[in-house]
Amino acid sequence: MIAIVGPTAVGKSELALHLAQYFPIEIIGADSRQVYRHMDIGTNKPSPAEMAAVPHHVIDVVEPDDDFNLAMYHQLAFEALKASQQKGKLPLLVGGSGLYVWSLLEGWTIPQVPPDREMRHQLESRAEHDDSRSLYRELQAIDPVAAERINPSNVRRIIRALEIYYSTGQRPSQLQRKEEPGFSVLVIGLTRERSDLYRRIDKRADKMIERGLVEEVEQLLERGYGPSLPSMSGIGYKQIGQFLGGEMTLPEAIDKMKHETHKLARHQYAWFRLNDSRIRWFDRTGTEGETSILALNKVRDLIERFIS
């Protein structure tokens, strides 16, 4: 199995589609937002033509108001991985959600704990009316190992960890074990200088607006997918929802969207560290057009050596 990792907008999908010209690839998504149907522009999903040209898995698997968690992702991705291997294809894991990526590559055993809606509602109310930091401190007291793995601002994951603990009486970190995945892995990391990456992020955000992100969010709201849903809290959807709700102007929403995506990219480097010896890093700063193809060919040569 091969994985392509790195921050958002660095060029992971571009590389995957390039490699599909040379290898019998099937792409397994590792993006926590692309799993939702009807949310295409803001999640930067592959186009219908791209998905027709190369099989893609774990994209468009749930409705925006459905529950989706790590255990569900892990099961779907592992099934896709095995199916690809059985067909003699090369499974290519592509995405920037570090939790999803490492759960597969490190062979995590994920606790199969169904959601407790009443408990979740109580925890969500506490986070909304009190302070989400108090929930994080509560998790730190219960399971410091699990708390260390979660960003203090990620309320949804904090609530899920507490939900697992109160449902089972066991610490989430005790239920999550690591086992050898049973297949060889090559992890390719893409990086860019921060200014180059931010320029690409900003350009992509402007392109999303041009492609109709405002209209996409309007349609989601008209379908009844409210702004309180986890799916609608994603970058782009939240800010455009606030614009449509009269909380800010469109330019303010776009600026906020760009700022939050910059922040996301910095957070992703915490999952994919440049000094991680498991990752073969390629710096793609300034690579566009023909220069980009030359850089991508170096990755192709690495994969050929890995397969042989």
Question: Can you tell me the mean pLDDT for 24-29?
Answer: 97
What is the full DSSP assignment across 187-234?
EEEEE--HHHHHHHHHHHHHHHHHHTHHHHHHHHHHTT--TTSGGGGS
CB of 168 closer than 8 Å to CB of 111: yes
Instruction: Report helix, strand or coil for 147.
Output: helix
Summarize pLDDT for 81-121 with one digit per residue, the tens.
Answer: 999 999 999 999 999 999 999 999 998 888 778 778 889 88
Instruction: Name the pairing type of β-strands 25-29 and 186-191.
Output: unpaired
Share of the chain above pLDDT 70, in %: 97
Q: Scanning the structure block, which residue is given the tokens 């005790």?
A: 174
Interatomic CA distance for residues 232 and 241, integer angstroms: 8
Q: With cut-offs at 50, 70 and 90, classify the pLDDT of residue 269.
A: very high
Share of the chain above pLDDT 90, in %: 71
Q: With cut-offs at 50, 70 and 90, classify the pLDDT of residue 289.
A: low
Question: Can you tell me the mean pLDDT for 276-296?
Answer: 77
Closest CA to 242 of 256, 263, 231: 256
Instruction: Name the pairing type of β-strands 90-94 and 2-5.
Output: parallel
Q: What is the pLDDT of residue 183?
A: 85
Q: What is the pLDDT of residue 291?
A: 45
Question: Can you tell me the mean pLDDT for 62-75?
Answer: 92
Number of structural domains (the chain) is 2
Q: What is the pLDDT of residue 290?
A: 47
Q: What is the pLDDT of residue 297?
A: 80
CB of 163 closer than 8 Å to CB of 119: yes
Same domain, 188 and 273: yes
Is the pLDDT at 50 greater than 90? The verdict is: yes
Same domain, 191 and 56: yes
Q: With cut-offs at 50, 70 and 90, classify the pLDDT of residue 298.
A: confident
Interatomic CA distance for residues 231 and 216, integer angstroms: 13
Same domain, 141 and 46: no
Question: Can you tell me the mean pLDDT for 167-185?
Answer: 83
Same domain, 12 and 133: no
Same domain, 137 and 285: no
Q: What is the pLDDT of residue 292?
A: 59
Of 156, 175, 194, the residue at which a domain comes to its end is: 175
Instruction: Report helix, strand or coil for 304.
Output: helix
Same domain, 209 and 103: yes
Q: With cut-offs at 50, 70 and 90, classify the pLDDT of residue 243.
A: very high
Residue 208's CB is within 10 A of a number of other CB atoms, namely 21
- Identify the CATH number of the domain in which residue 263 sits: 3.40.50.300
Strand-pairing partners, residue 283, are 191
Of 175, 205, 222, the residue at which a domain comes to its end is: 175
- Identify the CATH number of the domain in which residue 171 sits: 1.10.20.140
Same domain, 127 and 247: no
Same domain, 194 and 254: yes
Instruction: Name the pairing type of β-strands 108-109 and 177-178.
Output: antiparallel
Q: What is the pLDDT of residue 293?
A: 60
Interatomic CA distance for residues 81 and 86, integer angstroms: 9
Q: What is the pLDDT of residue 295?
A: 66
Same domain, 104 and 29: yes
Same domain, 208 and 76: yes
Tokens representing 286 are 């300034």
Question: Can you tell me the mean pLDDT for 8-31?
Answer: 94
Same domain, 97 and 241: yes
Our CA dihedral for 31, 37, 38, 42, rounded to 10 degrees, sits at: -10
Q: What is the pLDDT of residue 219?
A: 98
Question: Can you tell me the mean pLDDT for 212-238?
Answer: 96
Of 126, 155, 175, the residue at which a domain comes to its end is: 175
Same domain, 21 and 150: no
Is the pLDDT at 227 greater than 60? The verdict is: yes
Closest CA to 54 of 78, 84, 24: 24
Question: Can you tell me the mean pLDDT for 31-53?
Answer: 96
Is the pLDDT at 288 greater than 90? The verdict is: no
Residue range(s) defining the domain that contains residue 186: 2-110+179-307
Q: Rounded mean pLDDT of the chain?
A: 92
Question: Can you tell me the mean pLDDT for 170-196?
Answer: 88
